[in-house]
Structure 1
């Protein structure tokens, strides 16, 4: 047992908007009632559970033996009736700091009490929680109305299994044990480490009811172990509505995965404090604050975090790619269009650049820029399907997983949305850059589905663009890239009928035939994994692939294993191709963005370009040889098929939208994704070697996809991303953002007056002012491409060389 020494623990429970007017009420530790004593123990155990470098016992049975003695508990009303601020001073045996027994801890947390609730049991309805020590029956089955809880390999936060284990452990600690301490094993040292494992349990996704059995392993402070089977049941009220007590950002014990009230967006004190105020209407400036960004944001009622709370700001600046660790001046979390407009004007007043963030998946991490104001749109994540099911209105903070689930849920699975494959990616950036995904060969890019866009411009004005009003802006929005013309707050997109079944087949062609097979596909070279999706039953796809000579008896192609054929509806095809199967096990899991980010967030560096014509054998051989070197670091070469001008993408004229590379045969993306930082110094040079090796085979300004951002893409990035549309887009930029407010990003489109000379473009429509009406000379929005023929829809959608 590690040596333990007395220390002083000071727990300060504060809210994000402290009233600071009511005098606190203090109670001596010897005078605490049962509820106060239980809350004090809960907070102490929660703090212990969250220690990263050392793991103190997280279950205190005998406070005296553990040296945990509350000296004083002070409470003060919060700004909301349900909030309580509490200062707790206690002494304890510090098993982690045995060489510094006088270590003092200052923890900040928020206690929000739901009506009639015991905060130690939240988010479970207190009157529904039951717990008893009982073995799992041999004939256990789910009660009526409940279904079995899926078992996941890892303990992933917020899955039903995780929720049940939380219910089981907390009901034992804060209901069963206080009522009957003798019901559980007594540890000689007065404390234990707990490990809870679901044995068998059931739940109802619709009602929130849980019931079942878990095993709790007590590893006692005296070294003994005991296994206890607990039968627990309860009904969840939801963590947003009824969260458990939480530490604030920057405090010891804070974990963003459990920040159910989005405290990371609120600084706990000083300039970062959140104050409620009436937000300005779009276009009206917040009260002048003399360039003080924090005061301006606060006066507009916008939640934010800045350097007054460095730990919280560091957490708020995290993006998907772990390589990017840039820190912004502040991160703002607007709740509506009015607050987006106010945030833009606050940044402008303070002399800094506003930078939108939808999902934080920018390859270069450009949604967080040094000294800029990141305007995080994640609070604006509602998708609403029209009554006729033809369109969906999507707020720009929505993730793809949210969009797909809400379309599926609101239409009963009869409609599908066109987008990308990765559920945590933000729709805001994806649509503006293009949007390549499983339905691209049928219906075009994600942005080809745009019918209307709403954005806040550099003047804080809300601009609406559709087919009859600002149609040039609508056209440009399909491919211009995120944050170039303003901050998009909402889209209206076309939906498509979803057939009852999609068929997906995955197979690998043997290496000895890979070259011939890829030549047959007009791609070329290397052993290849193929994934093909078809909007129809398996029998039709098998017949189609055989008739096209791609797969099946008589085609002559050999595969490494029998093809994996899967029939499923649209939403399950989305889940299948996300490859997030450890988290996404049922459609509603597409909403579990936090779990996906925790499980799958990696270091990565990827590069890409479009193949507008056949790639030479020598170039393919270079890629194959390179992939063999980097495979062990998570490297790959991925091809996404477009199909050239006959396809749905190519049916739209290159100068009709911001996306110019309509005639591409496919995109090539290469690079690596790795888990450990120590691998970075080995991976990055290999990727740079690949680019250098490919340079002789391609134009210095090779065409590229703006959503696969790469500052090293070519000699002239604007030419690579926008080609002959560059001058038109720069002219439009000069109209909507003449002072280049939205240019924090080093690859941002500059307004025409400040742009470097560019090659003369092919004839393109003349843009019209964004604040004016539509123009007959402006680029029309992308027409709805006719569905691709069945043979095109069945052509392999993606291939990976290895």
Structure 2
């Protein structure tokens, strides 16, 4: 109570001297941005819910400065407050505080978005990383996951149920939050077998803009469930838990990890990539891949096969995917089950479960070197001690969530990490007929891009010493303009080869689309906007790339089981979120991702 009283006094003093000036760009205004349009009594409302969970710059600038970090150092912004919710009830209470006082709200969990949009200027950030409960239904068919879990925490928790062959689709990047991953759609290595992550979503709990808590499934608030499969995180409310249908993997869950390296150089890479494109439509759906083209124009495939290494080897050879291999070995007899059969170029290794594969082959790569016992990933070996340590990280000990652990400034998303000459880009951009990501029709969920085969993106990751220098001097644009130009140059080169349409994946947060709603949601944008207008009347959830409900169709377009919730009016004189939507600052340095050919 004493802390709450002292905090209220500090808030009143701040309010007395604060000028209601427009928000300046991130990194330029710091604490000043956080207080713009924020009534002092709003902070008192948060403190009344849980003073120990509330971080306000007027009370503790150092704590606020740490709490506002995301994994990407270049997206430093100035939220009004950060609240670390300990329960769904606390989420509901603080959302109602924001709704009543006209403050925008944004949920945060993994904080892995490349533009850092989970922490907007002038908004209440509701961090849900404490909501990590999980449970398996008695029949073993439904796995409930709290919104605070990361991809690997979800994998670890399901593995702990000792259910043979059980899986829910998760992402390649281990520490991405399950919530944002699923709400944007969810690409992962199980995608060709089980579809998008959100295709397994059968229900969720959500806190709406007025603080109401609802359960959405196929029979109640079915429009919310539809919108939550690709509509984007933080669009309609704050999801606090998810119910997934459990997928039963073949071969009792035993699978094969694969890594294939191809010879470098533009001609070889173009030929290998075209072979890969041509092979995918007919290739066994038990294969799942991610790819990269790195420096030296070297194509690499990593992924899994839901079967034994010997069968994987046979199928890969038959598809022509073991030709033009790199001369540098990626496997030795003690690390690959079939390395003795091939001189170089690839690794195939069997694992008893997806969990065991992730612990040895995936999680170590994504773990920040500042906390690992081996340091940089180049030093990693799958020793018993290292794998045991990794499994603790998978269970959330220690919890990896954005912030200074990463210490790298990222520009866009990485699947294609080195630009090829124009001729090579044009060859790679030619579309091929492909399988859907799952089997639903384009309008079955908010995610529309079911007929696309690949996602092509570009990335520049600035070395830590350069990032640190820029962060300390706040010379973001001048110091880091060159890598941003590299990304934009590549995107400008490839875009003309893709035809007139722009298709983009909402979770990659591109920021140079002519019409992001059409790019993200295509023909589903109008229905999504109608749902947004019904459930978030005042635009409380209004961060960039959130669908707008302003031009939504008539409410009759909504599902009949989901009437619009009655809005709670803000107190007299309180600003509404929509009145200051323009104060949310977009990314400081425009390094865009254009989604090109989704897989």
Which residue of 1 is the match for residue 366 of structure 2? 580
1:726 and 2:525 matched: yes
Distance 1:519 1:701, change over 3 A: closer
- Which protein is bigger by CA-based radius of gyration? 1
Which residue of 2 is the match for residue 685 of structure 1? 485
Which residue of 2 is the match for residue 292 of structure 1? 41
Distance 1:748 1:680, change over 3 A: same
Residue 592 (structure 1) aligned to one of 370, 374, 397? 397
CA contact (8 A) 1:381 1:395 kept: yes
CA root-mean-square deviation: 3.3
Residue 450 (structure 2) aligned to one of 637, 645, 662? 662
Q: For 2:455, what is the secondary structure of its paired residue?
A: strand
Instruction: Tell me the matched-pair count.
Output: 460
Which residue of 2 is the match for residue 751 of structure 1? 549
1:742 and 2:541 matched: yes
1:559 and 2:326 matched: yes
Distance 1:770 1:670, change over 3 A: farther
Whole-angstrom CA distance in 2 between matches of 1:609 and 1:731: 33
Q: Which structure dedicates a bigger proportion of its chain to strand?
A: 1
Which residue of 1 is the match for residue 308 of structure 2? 537
Distance 1:770 1:734, change over 3 A: farther
CA contact (8 A) 1:293 1:347 kept: yes
Deviation at 1:470, TM superposition (A): 1.8
Of the structure 1 ranges 518-527 and 302-311, higher mean CA displacement relative to structure 2 is found in: 518-527
Any stretches of 5+ residues in structure 2 without a counterpart? 12-37, 280-292, 330-343, 373-385, 470-478, 565-599
Distance 1:594 1:770, change over 3 A: same
Residue by residue, what CA displacement relative to the aligned partner does 1:107-165 show, whole Å, maximum 9, x if unpaired? xxxxxxxxxxxxxxxxxxxxxxxxxxxxxxxxxxxxxxxxxxxxxxxxxxxxxxxxxxx
Deviation at 1:350, TM superposition (A): 2.1
Whole-angstrom CA distance in 1 between matches of 2:109 and 2:432: 30
Whole-angstrom CA distance in 2 between matches of 1:500 and 1:477: 28
Residue 502 (structure 1) aligned to one of 236, 255, 262? 255
Q: For 1:521, what is the secondary structure of its paired residue?
A: helix
Which residue of 1 is the match for residue 354 of structure 2? 570
Deviation at 1:609, TM superposition (A): 11
Whole-angstrom CA distance in 2 between matches of 1:408 and 1:620: 46
Which residue of 1 is the match for residue 271 of structure 2? 516
Whole-angstrom CA distance in 1 between matches of 2:533 and 2:400: 41
Residue 671 (structure 1) aligned to one of 427, 434, 459? 459
Whole-angstrom CA distance in 2 between matches of 1:609 and 1:718: 23
Whole-angstrom CA distance in 2 between matches of 1:343 and 1:731: 25
Deviation at 1:771, TM superposition (A): 4.0
Which residue of 1 is the match for residue 558 of structure 2? 767
Whole-angstrom CA distance in 2 between matches of 1:606 and 1:657: 26
Deviation at 1:413, TM superposition (A): 5.6
Which residue of 1 is the match for residue 289 of structure 2? none
Larger RCO (CA under 8 A, 6+ residues apart): 2
Residue by residue, what CA displacement relative to the aligned partner does 1:227-255 show, whole Å, maximum 9, x if unpaired? xxxxxxxxxxxxxxxxxxxxxxxxxxxxx
Deviation at 1:516, TM superposition (A): 2.2
Which residue of 1 is the match for residue 60 of structure 2? 309
Q: For 1:270, what is the secondary structure of its paired residue?
A: helix
Which residue of 1 is the match for residue 228 of structure 2? 477
Whole-angstrom CA distance in 2 between matches of 1:770 and 1:672: 46
Deviation at 1:419, TM superposition (A): 1.2
Residue by residue, what CA displacement relative to the aligned partner does 1:284-340 show, whole Å, maximum 9, x if unpaired? xxxxx9861121112223621101211111111011111111011100112111111
Structure 2 length-normalised TM: 0.70
1:271 and 2:271 matched: no
1:330 and 2:135 matched: no
Residue by residue, what CA displacement relative to the aligned partner does 1:507-555 show, whole Å, maximum 9, x if unpaired? 212135332222222379953111131011111101111222222xxxx
